Structure 1
Amino acid sequence: MPASVLQITDAEFARFRDYFYRRTGIYFEDSKRYFVDKRLLERMRHTEYYSFRSYFTFMRFQASGQEFQQLVNCMTVNETYFMRERYQFECLVEETLNEIVQYPQNKARTLRIWSIPSSTGEEPYSIALSLLEYWPLIEQVDVEIVASDIDTHVLDRCRRGLYSDRSLMHISQDIRDRYFLPKGANQWQLCQDIRDSVLFTQVNLADLAQTREYRHFDIIFCRNLLIYFDEPARRRAAEVFYDALNPGGFIFLGHSESMSRISSLFKVRKFNKALAYQKPLD
């Protein structure tokens, strides 16, 4: 079949959707059909497989798994900016961290924060900047920030720390001047010290062999990811986060997401500026 007339049938779309869901937990509604088809066809042309069947077989059984990872990178959406939903960062430094450091078991130990998905890095770097600028105890308490994403391309971008004016639109000029260096037209690079303060890792939230390595966190930011999951995948993700958190730890979700509708494992905590979901201390 000529590359110019490649098409994905309804049955092929359904087959790919089911496979991608099993591997990642991300479920594509019918409304995403054009988006999925477009990216599948791009990968088929790139790999010179001109039927869905031959490409799908190649992608599933490739020993290195590189083509599946390329598909994941194509199919995931990474749209964010610094200090998105600022009130949650304010809640973090004004209330939740102050509560956590009071737990007897947390005296003289490193507090750990997990940002997933990291996307292009704006969220974990916003956490680091908030701690440095607005949490007085940062001089007394060691904090480790881990940021994870399924998309390997965005992790490379995270580590480079290059951002556009749009990404920095909610950053004050003072913060920009102190932590970002101009890198040509509409480009800014976060300073090396802040980039070094975050550990970036690749992880598939649907792969329990990977997620079982993520334990002993005090705070998790998982914002605007669960909206791409169906109910069973959301429940599995909630169990992953429950196991990853220390007793008394908190998870922040996106403003349109609710852990209460997903799992009874967590209790709702209403702080002055934001809602969070807590793993019980008992």
Structure 2
Amino acid sequence: MKSLAAADSRQITDADFAKFRDYFYRKTGIHFDDSKRYFVDKRLIERMAATGADDFRSYFMALRFERGSEELQHLVNTMTVNETYFFRETYQFDAMVNGMLDEIARRKRPGGRIRIWSIPSSTGEEPYSIAIYLLERWKLIDDYEVEILSSDIDTQVLHQAERGIYSPRSVAQLPPTLLDKYFTRQSSGDYAISRDLVQAVEFSRVNLSDASDTRRFREIDLIFCRNLLIYFDDVSRRAAAEAMFDALNPGGFVCLGHSESMSRITSLFQVRRFPAAMVHQKPLEGGQA
């Protein structure tokens, strides 16, 4: 009877949902509308059970004042969706190696550093796809020092990315020659990515809505921020766009998801059209892209 009573006490009321939604938004910039109510309630109840909280009030008090950042990170890990695969939306990778990087390189000294930032990293498919594209398709790869940085707010997916083990579904879009070249088939049927590629990417936890997290990212030349801003509201999107603007070198580029548009968020960036893709550019000093 006690367990049934405890289960009943863990129900989430409308007021509880609104209170949690506001708190989570302030901490992460991620906004849950009413259509996500079932998703949020289910995961909140799971965390309440995992922490031994008898009801929402005691859980929420502990979240705010006792367990602090550790429990919030558990919530972030369970509330964020990480759906991705290798070579997703390759038209932007084509624009990278056939246009953007050549333009960036012309502004660098020979052997200079080019910095690419992938956020969110999810489980690593995007930054590793960038690395493979560079190695296979950018003719100047040996002439510059290229750094690939990749960040996510979810520490669980960062651990998976650094582990580098992928399901057959994740690698299904890779040409067989590249799958053989950069992956090793495991007895489980999964694929382990080359450790050289793992070491080529620097992973870190970053909350794009937290200035204390993003201010350490500077002198970036190219940002991939795809399908993240759709989870933000207008205020959070603007803050994220400003953080990316500050991180970029003049003339640097941002690639967003196919349903996202920087022009609806801010006027800071200029639209650039390459044969393969439309992207967004931070103006060069003097206002010319």
What are structure 2's unaligned runs of at least 5 residues? none
Instruction: Please list, as runs of the form range in 1=range in 2, the aligned pairs for 1:89-108 lying within 5 A after superposition.
Output: 89-103=93-107, 105-108=108-111
Structure 2: which amino acid aligns with 1:256?
A: S
CA distance in 1, matches of 2:218, 2:234: 24
The aligned counterpart of 1:71 is: 75
Q: For 2:50, which of 40, 46, 50 is the aligned residue?
A: 46
Matched, 1:276 2:279: yes
CA distance in 2, matches of 1:135, 1:246: 21
The aligned counterpart of 1:56 is: 60
Query: How far did residue 4 of structure 1 move?
Result: 2.5
Structure 2: which amino acid aligns with 1:111?
A: I
The aligned counterpart of 1:86 is: 90
The aligned counterpart of 2:16 is: 12
Query: How far did residue 206 of structure 1 move?
Result: 1.1
Query: How far did residue 50 of structure 1 move?
Result: 1.3
C-alpha contact (below 8 Å) 1:2/1:50 kept by paired residues: no
Q: For 1:27, which of 14, 27, 31 is the aligned residue?
A: 31
Matched, 1:134 2:130: no
For the aligned residue pairs, the C-alpha RMSD in angstroms reads 1.1
SS of corresponding position for 1:82: coil
CA distance in 2, matches of 1:158, 1:247: 30
Taking structure 1 as the reference length, the TM-score comes to 0.98
Instruction: Please list, as runs of the form range in 1=range in 2, the aligned pairs for 1:255-274 lying within 5 A after superposition.
Output: 255-274=258-277
SS of corresponding position for 1:2: helix
C-alpha contact (below 8 Å) 2:62/2:68 kept by paired residues: no
SS of corresponding position for 2:106: coil
The aligned counterpart of 1:116 is: 119
Taking structure 2 as the reference length, the TM-score comes to 0.95
CA distance in 2, matches of 1:216, 1:108: 16
The aligned counterpart of 2:198 is: 195
- Judged with a 3 Å threshold, the aligned counterparts in structure 2 of structure 1 residues 63 and 107 are, in CA distance, closer, same or farther, namely farther
Structure 1: which amino acid aligns with 2:16?
A: E
Deviations 1:165-202 (CA, angstroms, capped at 9, x unpaired): 10001101100101101112330000100010000000
Identity of aligned pairs, percent? 57
Query: How far did residue 63 of structure 1 move?
Result: 5.4
C-alpha contact (below 8 Å) 1:3/1:45 kept by paired residues: no
CA distance in 2, matches of 1:272, 1:208: 34
The aligned counterpart of 2:152 is: 149
Deviations 1:236-256 (CA, angstroms, capped at 9, x unpaired): 001000000000000000000
- Judged with a 3 Å threshold, the aligned counterparts in structure 2 of structure 1 residues 40 and 64 are, in CA distance, closer, same or farther, namely closer
Query: How far did residue 60 of structure 1 move?
Result: 1.2
Structure 2: which amino acid aligns with 1:202?
A: R
